[in-house]
Amino acid sequence: MKFTKFIRKTAFAVALASAFTLHAQDIKLGFNGDLSASPSAQSGRAGVIGIEAAIEDINAAGGVLGRKLVLVSRDDQSQPPKSIQNMSDLIDNEKVVAVFGPTNSGNALAWKHIPNQKKVVTMGMIGSGTDITKPMAPGAENYMFRVSMMDREQVAALVAYALKSGSKKIGVMGETTGYGQGGVKDLLEILKLHNIEPVGVEKFAVSDTDMTSQLNKLKSAGADTLMVWAQGTPIGQLVRSMDKINYFPTLLTSWAADNITYFDAAGKSLADKPVFLRTMADPSTPKQKKLYDRIGSKLAAPSAFPFAVHGYDATLLVAAAIRQAGSTDGSKMREALEDMKAPVDGVMKLYTKPFSKTDREGLTAEDLVFIKWRDGKLVQYSDATIKQMSPADYKK
């Protein structure tokens, strides 16, 4: 009897050890971004849905290097200290081999030194701050990559549009977050490249509901175009404030105006005021339609779908880097991403050598389209100015 119990205990121990071994063989990927707090949280949730869909497909096809991918998500609640803590936890405790995110650009700027010091690839797929993917120092190894919009690419196109359309006096506004002020910095620098001095630069808090004071200053200065960098909800409140004083200059904004939080704050009758850029209007290719049919019901709104696409494609690129490197070593993965030998067929596009030692952006201005709201839907926008624009009009 004692021998039988010994055999049973031994078998159980072996089975348990095997289970731990199999679990240890999983390749852990991390997500660190806002899933609950800021106006951009729905973008974070959509990004995670896209990452999970890609992991499901990759695992169904046999995984990577014979191992399954698993996702460990952390909600930073739009707070830089929390985001820093999450990044250390994911890398040091969870032992993830790559991190996706964040939702808010300012948080990436707060913790980008961590993955660079610890040599862990980070693949941005929401936050668009220009400085996120810049190296920590000239010539330094850089572990920051991105498959999403970049602010400077958007700004270059919007400034070109403003000047091509005949704007004479441009006003600049931005929220006081890292995202807003990073965009304002890009706006002022690119306007300077065109030898344009704005008639005014105004700020507002992300929680402000009345911007009439700032708008009246710009109105008095004669601004015929406003260029605004902020998240969805404050842009919506800005449009409402414009309505209060009946001041509707040409309004060019960050892509955050695509967020359903913007539409809810602005209301249907005012939602069509801004022009902005995006990676797509509606799912248009067979791959995009197939993915949308699969995950669309999980999204907070159809407008969040591009973030799911970026999350999906970012995961494909990380998986491809692991395969090419034949390893989950951070340095080898970085080197693989800098010189990808085979194209990666994503949902957004075919990624042929999307990165290099100096270029960390998987998407560029050529991948962007002008967008407006119309009757409660996002639609691709075109007018005589857009039709006349050429690469020569862009300055970066």
- Give the CATH number for residue 295: 3.40.50.2300
Tokens 């449009």 correspond to: 239
383 lies in the same domain as 251:
yes
CA distance 253 to 334: 33
The SS3 of residue 166 is coil
Q: Could you give the residue ranges of the DSSP H alpha helices within the chain?
A: 2-24, 41-60, 80-88, 105-111, 113-118, 151-164, 178-193, 212-220, 232-244, 260-266, 286-295, 305-325, 330-338, 384-388
Considering the domain architecture, whether residues 20 and 83 belong to the same structural domain is answered as yes
Q: How many CA atoms lie within 13 A of 108 on its CB side?
A: 30
Q: Answer whether residue 233 is part of any domain.
A: yes
The candidate with the shortest Cα–Cα distance to 343, out of 311, 313, 312, is 313
The 8-class DSSP code of residue 93 comes to: I
Residue range of the domain that includes 313: 9-149+283-363
78 with 143, same domain: the answer is yes
Contacts of 226 (CB under 8 A, 6+ apart): 170, 171, 172, 173, 218, 249, 250, 251, 252
Of 10-14, 18-22, 316-320, the least confident: 18-22
Question: Mean pLDDT throughout 9-28?
Answer: 56
Q: What is the pTM of this model?
A: 0.85
Quick: pLDDT tens for 134-148: 999 999 999 999 999
Peptide bond into 274 cis (omega under 30): no
The pLDDT of residue 390: 87
Q: β-pairing, 144-146 with 200-204?
A: unpaired
Instruction: Catalogue the E-assigned strands of 125-242.
Output: 144-146, 170-175, 200-204, 225-229
Question: Is 3 within the bounds of a domain?
Answer: no
CA distance 78 to 179: 11
* Average pLDDT estimate for 155-181: 95
- Do 267 and 380 lie in one domain? The reply is yes
Beta-carbon-side half-sphere exposure of residue 2 (alpha carbons within 13 Å): 0
Residue 4 within a domain:
no
Does 137 lie in the same domain as 238? no
* Structure confidence at residue 17 (pLDDT): 44
Neighbours of 142 (CB within 10 A): 20
Through-space distance between the first and last CA atoms of the chain, rounded to whole angstroms: 80
| φ, ψ of residue 229 in degrees (nearest 5) | -120, 115
Give the Cα separation of 47 and 33 in Å (integer).
10
Together in a domain, 211 and 97: no
The pLDDT mean for the chain works out to 93
The number of beta carbons lying within 10 Å of the beta carbon of residue 382 is 11
Backbone angles phi, psi at 135, to 5 degrees: -65, 155
Res 65 pLDDT > 70: yes
392 band by pLDDT with thresholds 50, 70 and 90: confident
Q: Is residue 311 domain-shared with residue 239, that is, in the same domain?
A: no
Domain contains 2: no
The DSSP-derived string for 213-252 is HHHHHHHHTT-SEEEEE--HHHHHHHHHHHHHTT---EEE
- Residues 256 and 359 placed together within one structural domain of the fold: no
Asked if residue 351 belongs to a domain, the reply is: yes
Task: Tell whether 336 is covered by a domain.
Answer: yes
User: How buried is 166 (Cβ within 10 angstroms: 0-12 exposed, 13-18 middle, 19+ buried)?
Assistant: exposed
Residues 292/293/299/301 CA torsion (nearest 10 deg): 80
218-241 average pLDDT score: 97
For residue 24, the model assigns a pLDDT of: 53
Question: Residue 8 burial by CB count (10 A; 0-12/13-18/19+): exposed, middle or buried?
Answer: exposed
pLDDT per residue over 294-352, tens digit each? 999 999 989 899 999 999 999 999 999 999 999 999 999 999 999 999 999 999 999 99
305, 337: one domain: yes
What single-letter amino acid sits at 167?
S
Q: Residue 11 pLDDT > 60, yes or no? A: no
If asked whether residues 241 and 157 sit together in one domain, one would say yes
CB 369 within 8 A of CB 280: yes
Q: 161 pLDDT exceeds 70?
A: yes
**Confidence bin at 15 (pLDDT 50/70/90):** very low
Q: Is the pLDDT of residue 12 over 70?
A: no
Strand, helix or coil at 6?
Answer: helix
Q: Which residues contact 118 (CB under 8 A, 6 or more apart)?
A: 91, 92, 330
248 within some domain: yes
Domain assignment present for residue 321? The answer is yes
Does residue 309 sit in the same domain as residue 259? no
Q: Are 259 and 298 contained in the same domain?
A: no
CA–CA gap between residue 49 and residue 94 (Å, rounded):
20
Domain count, the chain: 2
Q: 91-103, pLDDT tens digit by residue?
A: 999 999 999 999 9
Among residues of the chain, what percentage have pLDDT more than 70?
A: 94
Q: Name the 3-class secondary structure at 372.
A: strand
Pairing state between β 144-146 and 121-124: parallel
